Amino acid sequence: MFFPIIKSRSGDECVVALCDQWLIDYGNKEWKDDARRVLQQLNVFSDETRQNFEGVFDWLHEHACSRSYGLGTKLPWDKQYLIESLSDSTIYMAYYTVAHLLQQQDSFDGQKIGPANINPSEMTIDLWDYIFFVNKPYSSLKTNISKETLDLLRNEFQYWYPVDLRSSGKDLIPNHLTYSLYDHVAIWPNQEENRWPKAFRANGHLFLNGEKVIINNNSIIQTEYDAPIPNFYKAQQELYNRLMANGIEVFVVTASNEELIRMVVADPKYGYNVKPQNVIGIATLLNDNTQLTVSRKQIEDNTYDQMQNLNLKLTSYLWSPQSMFVGKYGAILTYINQWKMPVLVAGDTPTSDGYMMFHAYNQQRGTIRLWVNRKDAYLTLIKQMKNQYASEQEQNDLPVTADKNWIYVTPNDLGPENGMLSNITSKQKEVLEDKIRYLFSVSRTYAK
- Domain of residue 418, CATH code: 3.40.50.1000
Inside any domain, residue 170: yes
Q: Concatenate the DSSP letters of all residues of 193-259 into one string.
A: G--S--BEEEE---EETTEE--GGGT-PPP---PPPPPP--HHHHHHHHHHHHTT----EEEEEEHH
Regarding whether 309 and 195 lie in a shared domain, the answer is no
> Which of 203, 226, 258 is at the close of a domain?
203
Inside any domain, residue 420: yes
Inside any domain, residue 442: no
Q: What is the pLDDT of residue 149?
A: 94
Regarding whether 427 and 320 lie in a shared domain, the answer is yes
Regarding whether 176 and 261 lie in a shared domain, the answer is no
Regarding whether 345 and 243 lie in a shared domain, the answer is yes
Regarding whether 171 and 247 lie in a shared domain, the answer is no
Q: What is the pLDDT of residue 447?
A: 32
Inside any domain, residue 278: yes
Regarding whether 313 and 383 lie in a shared domain, the answer is yes
Instruction: Please compute, for residue 133, the number of CA atoms within 13 A of its CA located in the half-sphere on the CB side.
Output: 16
What single DSSP character describes residue 342?
A: P
434 Cβ contact list (under 8 Å, min separation 6): none
Regarding whether 192 and 87 lie in a shared domain, the answer is yes
Regarding whether 238 and 199 lie in a shared domain, the answer is no
- Domain of residue 174, CATH code: 3.40.50.620
Q: What is the pLDDT of residue 425?
A: 54
Inside any domain, residue 212: no
Quote the CA–CA distance of 392 and 389 in Å, as a whole number. 5
Regarding whether 165 and 67 lie in a shared domain, the answer is yes
Phi, psi at 60, each rounded to 5°: -70, 130
Q: Concatenate the DSSP letters of all residues of 163-201 into one string.
A: -S-EEEEGGGIIIIIHHHHHHHHHHS--GGG--S--BEE
Quote the CA–CA distance of 355 and 131 in Å, as a whole number. 26
List average pLDDT for each run of 10 residues in the chain, which is 448 residues long. 68 76 93 95 93 93 86 87 86 92 79 88 94 93 94 94 91 92 94 88 70 54 58 77 87 83 84 88 59 66 70 56 75 81 86 87 83 89 92 92 90 60 52 51 36
Domain extent, residue 241, equals: 234-434
Inside any domain, residue 5: no
Regarding whether 266 and 157 lie in a shared domain, the answer is no
- C-beta of residue 221 within 8 angstroms of C-beta of residue 206: yes
Inside any domain, residue 210: no
Instruction: Please compute, for residue 138, the number of CA atoms within 13 A of its CA located in the half-sphere on the CB side.
Output: 11
Domain count for the chain: 2
Regarding whether 248 and 359 lie in a shared domain, the answer is yes
Regarding whether 47 and 114 lie in a shared domain, the answer is yes
49 Cβ contact list (under 8 Å, min separation 6): 170, 173, 200, 202
Give the global pTM: 0.51
- C-beta of residue 249 within 8 angstroms of C-beta of residue 241: no
Count of C-beta atoms within a 10 Å radius of residue 214: 12
Q: What is the pLDDT of residue 439?
A: 46
Query: Considering all CA atoms of the chain, what is the largest pairwise distance in Å, rounded to the nearest integer?
Result: 91
Q: What is the pLDDT of residue 402?
A: 92
According to DSSP, the residues that pair with 113 across neighbouring strands are 103
Inside any domain, residue 146: yes
